[in-house]
Copies of this chain bind each other. A is one copy, B any other.
Amino acid sequence: MKQAITAKDVAKLAGVSQSSVSRVFFDGAKVSEKTRAKIMAAAEQLGYRPNEFARSLITNRTRIIGMVMKGVQNPFYPQVLKQFATAFKEEGYSILYVHTNNDEIEAEDVETLLNYNVAGVIITDAAMASTVEKQFEVNKIPVVFFNRKLNTDEFYSVCCNNVDAGRKIAEFLINKGATDMAYITGDEKTSTSRERQRGFQEILDQRKIAYRQFASDYTYNGGYQTAMQIIGKESLPAAFFVANDIMALGVLDALKNSGIKIPEDTKVIGFDNIDMASWPAYQLTTWEQPIEKMVETTVAYLLNEIAEYTGLAEVVEVDGSLIERFTT
């Protein structure tokens, strides 16, 4: 009842074979201009669209990209999703959105991706077990970790240059005159949090500047709570480097609520440059992640791998840049 119009119908109306209809709608096939015109006219009249499933069944490939996301509460990710959706639409690919509730991508989600035989997979903030990895590999489905690096070097991964950003941030704060500093971590299982920390601490150690670290979780509430605990118990550091913006906003609110003046009493710098960082209420100095470049890189890689699978594993690091506002 659904999908009433098939290539056969078009063929009949146009007075040609079904194969010719197929050729018109399949890129790369040859048809004479004359038959093409006849077929296009008939197709238009009937409202024909090729059945994507029949097509996928026979070609054994799809034009679907699996997008695995977890942290939609962080505005960074909706932004990323939007950009991927837009970029892939231009290339004729659609997005299968898979929301995972776990740190690690769930078996069920992998099933979904494999069932739909996705052309490629982008994983934004989840990890992946090595058994899962094998499944994608066996099926020659390229996978990109976006904004995450795994411990193994068996994956293609697109990140901001986090270590270097940490270094630059340290130097920036030193130049601002900060003499002791605190790093508020994100989820410590993530490469992003660890690498930002590494670069940051490296410079402070070199310059013999006091370094403290407080564990948090990449959420607004986490940042708020962590800052409150510091304010209650510890001396105030001269500057905070907070592992991402949304958490930095929490830190900022906690400090302000406690009557601490920014940037006079202490300074705060975040990471990501989400929209809110530029809001008048915050005016957060931060490190901009080059989302566009990261997305471009990811799309280019996936399209290449789709065209010819190589399984290339590599970590691509794109440079971000400091955005100075009023919290430093």
Contacts and interface: CB of A to CB of B under 8 A. Distances in A.
Interface in A180-232: 220, 224
Interface in A261-280: 275-276, 279-280
B72 A280 contact: no
Contact of A117 (B2, B67, B79, B253): B2
Interface string A220-256: 1000100000000000000000000000011011101
B75 A99 contact: no
A253 B98 CA distance: 35
Interface in A75-113: 75, 77-79, 81-82, 85-86, 89, 94-99, 101, 108, 111-112
A116 interface: yes
A57 interface: yes
Nearest to A77: B78
30 contacts: A1-B140, A2-B60, A2-B139, A3-B60, A3-B117, A49-B115, A51-B57, A52-B117, A53-B54, A57-B57, A72-B78, A73-B275, A75-B78, A81-B99, A85-B98, A89-B112, A94-B96, A94-B97, A94-B98, A94-B116, A95-B98, A96-B97, A220-B275, A220-B276, A220-B279, A249-B281, A253-B279, A253-B280, A254-B280, A281-B281
A170 to B, nearest CB: 27
A17 interface: no
A86 B57 contact: no
Instruction: Count this chain's copies in the assembly.
Output: 2
Given A81-B97, A89-B99, 13 more contacts: A1-B60, A47-B135, A50-B115, A64-B96, A72-B81, A73-B275, A89-B112, A94-B116, A95-B96, A95-B98, A220-B276, A220-B279, A249-B279
Contacts of A79: 72-73
